[in-house]
Amino acid sequence: MKKFLLLLSIISVNVYSQITTNNYDLNYHRCEWEINPEVNYIKGCVTSFFKPTVIDFSQLQFNLSKALRVDSIKYHNSLLNFIHTDNDLLQINFSNSIAIHTLDSVSVYYQGTPVSTDMGSFVQSTHNGAPIIWTLSEPYGAKDWWPCKQNLSDKIDSADIFITTPQINKAASNGLLLSENTSGSNKICHWKTTYPIACYLIGVAVTNYVAYSDYVPLSATDTLEVLNYVYPEYLETAKTLSPEIIKIISFYDSLLIPYPFAKEKYGQAQFGFKGGQEHQTMSFVVNFEHSLLAHECAHQWFGDYITCGSWQHIWLNEGFATYFEGLTKERFYPETFKTWKQSKINSITSVPDGSVFCEDTAETPRIFDSRLSYNKGAYLLRMLRWKLGDSAFFGSIKNYLNDSLLAGKFAKTNDLKLHLENVSKQDLTSFFDQWFYNQGYPSYQVNYIQTGNDVVVTLNQTQSHPSVLFYEMPVPLKFVGDHADTTIVFNHNYSGQSFSATVSFPIKKVEFDPEQCLLSANNTVSNYDLFEPIVYPNPASENISISVLLNNKQNLLLELIDTNGKNVHNQTLSFPSGISTQIINIVDISGGVYILRVTGDHVNYYQKIIKK
């Protein structure tokens, strides 16, 4: 879901209600609703097929707002007793227990004016003077307008949705539109979905829509229908913008797995929220702008096909949708991709703290924090792609989507991590500890010096939040000369680490992270070329002589660093002002290539030396 509003509601999750709905498996819903957008009201019957998963099952419980009135509950043509509690729990009592794993069903007849919570739930409004009613149930709003099992552990296997409304209207919903039949002054719209679906992804929008379709080629003989339900006043604008979805879906198909609901459709219906909501096979959108269409469409893979198994892991929905929105810019509008990346970095680093992991799921604004769940989640993926490479990254994502334990079900972050590790053969525990569970971001201080074709780079790092002591990432630097440039990647393992490289042209400037691969801010690049000693002999066998010319007396720190970045020798040298020579004993140092580093007041010198 893409949000543009500040979310102010705070939801208290009733733990008891979640536990008491976990003793049965939900298989099917037949939803029969009467909705007239001129009246803020819903009347209906929801028939639910279920299988008990425990023995001695004698009470079935749904989540349903107490603001709605339950008229009756039928079971095998008999009426059942029920209790509708103040904590929005509907308890249905059976006279006899139902055997474990036995398929059975009940029908709940209810009506009333829903009390909207979260970001809408059930909303009546207008567009150009015409009434509309639309729903938006994420995260806790499904129970505000229909009896359901509101959790992230049990998807409905299939559903039939019947919406009765005045004939002037059309009703948008999930799956395939099987029929629109006249019944007196009303119209009955019948939608059917046969794909597993989370309860919050069932959606309804009813108004005087105009419908038309775009088509995505899937093969030489097959296409996917994109069914657009738009306001009459927006029709001509929509027709100019909606074809963008054709290349977006084709692009996602090429990167991922084929569109996962191809037997039904993809749909886009306008509604009154200031953004979008990824109802399965029928996204609700405020307009047909490219970024919004790309974001909501990506949710069909990330959020709908595989749904986060806890709101703590909402980034598996929103971080992916945000990053894939960015990938469409990289693919189709590359001139805007750099600005897109920088805007995400600026958002994330505008505050020094915050984790992608959502600790407090009682607060709806925190779940849908655009800085953390969306932007930082997206940049976590950007950095994984950089760290692993395109082949391993996209291969891992395909494996994740193809995992039979996850496809059409729920996932948490560790499920994704395992696929990333299996394909890349890298241990990503530290990466996820730093970037997912902990907070903040790094700032880099880059020092470099060039002697001939030899360049020595020192990378220092500070962190915006104390939860991370150091971020391990490969750091790209672009060295630019008058007529040439080259980018070198340094595997940064600790602050103060030095590296040697070869650059065959005079360096005029160094650009930090030129392609914005890293999440960082307040980075600096400095060229220290202030201290030029004479080092001899080089190569050396037992001793090195260092002659220097200094303006003032000072102590300097000398270090020898091997090619792995390890400090193998250090000592303090006392230099008087003027010319002075010091002898450094290296007889106990193994043969090889080293970096000589000398530092002090306004002194930062590096040179490559060879020990015989």
Rounded to an integer, what distance in angstroms lies between the CA atom of residue 394 and that of residue 398? 6
Q: Is-contact 370 3, C-beta < 8 A? A: yes
- Predicted local confidence at residue 388, as pLDDT: 98
Q: Where are the chain's structural domains? A: 15-201, 209-305, 311-437, 442-527, 534-611
In Å, the largest CA–CA distance within the chain is: 105
Intra-chain end-to-end CA distance of the chain, in Å: 63
- Predicted local confidence at residue 408, as pLDDT: 98
Three-state DSSP at 553 gives coil
- Look-up of token digits 């703290």: 353
- Predicted local confidence at residue 576, as pLDDT: 66
Q: Is the pLDDT of residue 263 over 70?
A: yes
Token pair of 524, please? 């600096």
Strand order in the sheet with 524-527: 497-502, 454-463, 442-451, 524-527
- Predicted local confidence at residue 528, as pLDDT: 64
Q: Is-contact 18 49, C-beta < 8 A? A: no
DSSP 590: P
Instruction: Classify the C-alpha dihedral 142-143-147-152 as positive or negative.
Output: positive
Q: Is the pLDDT of residue 15 over 50?
A: no
- A 10 A CB-CB count for 5 gives 12
Architecture, CATH, for domain 209-305: Orthogonal Bundle (1.10)
Three-state DSSP at 457 gives strand
Q: Which residue has the higher pLDDT, 598 or 40?
A: 40
**528 closest CA partner among 448, 469, 437, 461:** 448
Angle between helices 315-332 and 244-255 (to 10 degrees): 110
Beta strands 543-550 and 158-166, pairing class: unpaired
Rounded to an integer, what distance in angstroms lies between the CA atom of residue 57 and that of residue 553? 88
- Predicted local confidence at residue 602, as pLDDT: 59
Cis status of the peptide bond prior to 196, with omega within 30 of 0: no
Q: How confident is the model at residue 6 (pLDDT cuts 50, 70, 90)?
A: very low
Rounded to an integer, what distance in angstroms lies between the CA atom of residue 80 and that of residue 302? 39
Q: How confident is the model at residue 598 (pLDDT cuts 50, 70, 90)?
A: confident
The torsion of the CA quartet 361, 362, 363, 369, rounded to 10 degrees, works out to 10
DSSP string, 336-381: HHHHHHHHHHHHHTTSS---SS---TT-HHHHT-IIIIIIIHHHHH
Rounded to an integer, what distance in angstroms lies between the CA atom of residue 378 and that of residue 308? 15
Mean pLDDT of the region 398-417: 98
DSSP string, 460-521: EEEESSTT-S---EEEEEEEE-SS-EEEEEEEE-STTEEEEEE-SS---EEEESTT--S---
Average pLDDT across the chain, whole number: 92
Q: Cβ contacts of residue 372 below 8 Å, gap of 6+?
A: 315, 348, 354, 355, 356, 358
DSSP string, 276-307: EE--TTEEEESS--HHHHHHHHHTTTBTTTBE
Q: Which residue has the higher pLDDT, 246 or 550?
A: 246
Residue 582 Cα distances to 384, 555, 556, 572, angstroms: 47, 12, 11, 11
- Predicted local confidence at residue 13, as pLDDT: 41
Rounded to an integer, what distance in angstroms lies between the CA atom of residue 262 and that of residue 344? 32
pLDDT digits 0-9 by tens, 27-36:
999 999 999 9
Q: Is the pLDDT of residue 16 over 70?
A: no
Instruction: Classify the C-alpha dihedral 112-113-118-121 as positive or negative.
Output: positive
Q: Is 209-305's fold the same as 442-527's?
A: no
Provide CATH code, domain 534-611.
2.60.40.3080
pLDDT digits 0-9 by tens, 588-597:
888 998 888 8
Rounded to an integer, what distance in angstroms lies between the CA atom of residue 518 and that of residue 230? 40
Q: How confident is the model at residue 472 (pLDDT cuts 50, 70, 90)?
A: very high
Rounded to an integer, what distance in angstroms lies between the CA atom of residue 524 and that of residue 513? 11
Mean pLDDT of the region 392-414: 98
Rounded to an integer, what distance in angstroms lies between the CA atom of residue 408 and that of residue 120? 26
Token pair of 439, please? 């907070």
Beta strands 485-492 and 473-480, pairing class: antiparallel
- Predicted local confidence at residue 440, as pLDDT: 98
Q: Is the pLDDT of residue 238 over 90?
A: yes
Q: Is the pLDDT of residue 421 over 60?
A: yes
pLDDT digits 0-9 by tens, 163-220:
999 999 999 999 999 999 999 999 999 999 999 999 999 999 999 999 999 999 998 8
**301 closest CA partner among 246, 339, 251:** 251
Architecture, CATH, for domain 311-437: Orthogonal Bundle (1.10)
The percentage of residues in the chain with a pLDDT greater than 90, rounded to a whole number, is: 78
Mean pLDDT of the region 37-55: 98
Backbone angles phi, psi at 350, to 5 degrees: -70, -20
Q: Which residue has the higher pLDDT, 422 or 559?
A: 422
Given the candidates 2.60.40.1730, 3.20.20.140, 3.40.640.10, 2.30.30.30, the CATH classification of the domain at 15-201 is 2.60.40.1730
Given the candidates 3.40.630.30, 3.90.79.10, 3.40.50.1980, 2.60.40.1910, the CATH classification of the domain at 442-527 is 2.60.40.1910
pTM for the whole structure: 0.87
Rounded to an integer, what distance in angstroms lies between the CA atom of residue 238 and that of residue 121? 26
pLDDT digits 0-9 by tens, 503-551:
999 999 999 999 999 999 999 998 864 445 667 788 988 888 876 655 4
Residue 562 Cα distances to 139, 408, 569, angstroms: 54, 51, 10
